[in-house]
A and B are shown apart, each in its own frame.
Chain A
Amino acid sequence: MSRLIFDDVACARGGRMLFEDLSFTVGPGEAALVTGPNGCGKSSLLRLAAGLLAPAAGTIVRDGAVALAAEAAALDEDRSLIDALAFWARLDGQDKQAVAQALAAMQLTALAEVPVRLLSTGQRRRATLARVIAGRAPLWLLDEPGNGLDTAALEALGAAMEGHLASGGLILAASHQPLGLTHTREIAL
């Protein structure tokens, strides 16, 4: 069973303490929304949860695979969208079908053959989310997933997140705007 537990975690970046004594648990089917002003450590919290940063104090328990949608799309600029996503699907042990479904979920099917470098900001954001969906990891870490998305894309994101939670997934999201998630716990930094 996948879960994410923060126990008295502290995070320091560049000699400055961003937050201390942070404890929370996210279980299957649960979503948590990290809120707070700019620079308070929301992205760092997600990187801690992903295991890309080490906490200054405390322990983080993470069971199950992780998918992170950070600021960078992490897609090869020169390849077509579907090829760039297929690379990650191969690493995640997923097939072409998972990529096709993720593209459809983010309304990107028509752009599948377009090189990543030609995508707009919002399309790029949707492609990043499609990468997360295609990986089929139980724990989603989403950093400002709604940034640059139009109303239709926000609805698609909401549907994808609800579907993920309904199938027992976990979501930890950092966002300024409401993401249309019900039963979201808030972690204020």
Chain B
Amino acid sequence: MINGVEVASHFRDVNHQYASNKEGIWLFMVTEILMFGGLFVGYIINHTIYPEVFAEGASYLDWHMGFVNTLVLIFSSLTMALGIYFNQISKPKWATWSLAITVLCGAIFMVIKYFEYTHKFHLGIFPGRMINPERMAEEGHPMQHANLGLYFGFYYCMTGLHGLHVLIGMGLITWVMIRNIRGEFSPKYYTPIEGIGIFWHIVDLIWIFLFPLLYLVG
């Protein structure tokens, strides 16, 4: 214990521990950028080669849904930043509320995503070869291009992987929120909230690019 903060035995002091924790989080963020980046590059390559297939696929997306989800995620990023801020200025109760609102925004995002997904499933739209042309014709949206499943392969992979990050982020924020209620954080020590905050902001960052890519440009 140094200055009331638990310091693991392999660290010299609090600063050393804090710097190492932050460096680890940033290295993890690099892997996130590269993972989603690979999908973005794949999308752009196939969009360039098959523009008509992607235009048809994008016509099934409603930008209003993506727009609302963008606003929800931006607001959640603000409350996440405030969750750290209120701990820095010794207002842990305010921090708890900020974190709770962040989790709630994540849940709203996932509910909207759920409605988008189930609507597509209803129309027979599934990724890759699982797409159901008979069902689509029955629902009054006959498939125009035989490889439409390619577009929805990208759509479900990218939004699904992003949605998984939102769910994991909600779990992690709930965990630090419970620790915060228990009084484990103070202006001297709030590293877990900060690390999870950086993760949550990268989820927002990825959505900031996914929204125009899928819903606006198509």
A, B bound: no
Residues of B within 8 A of A (CB): none
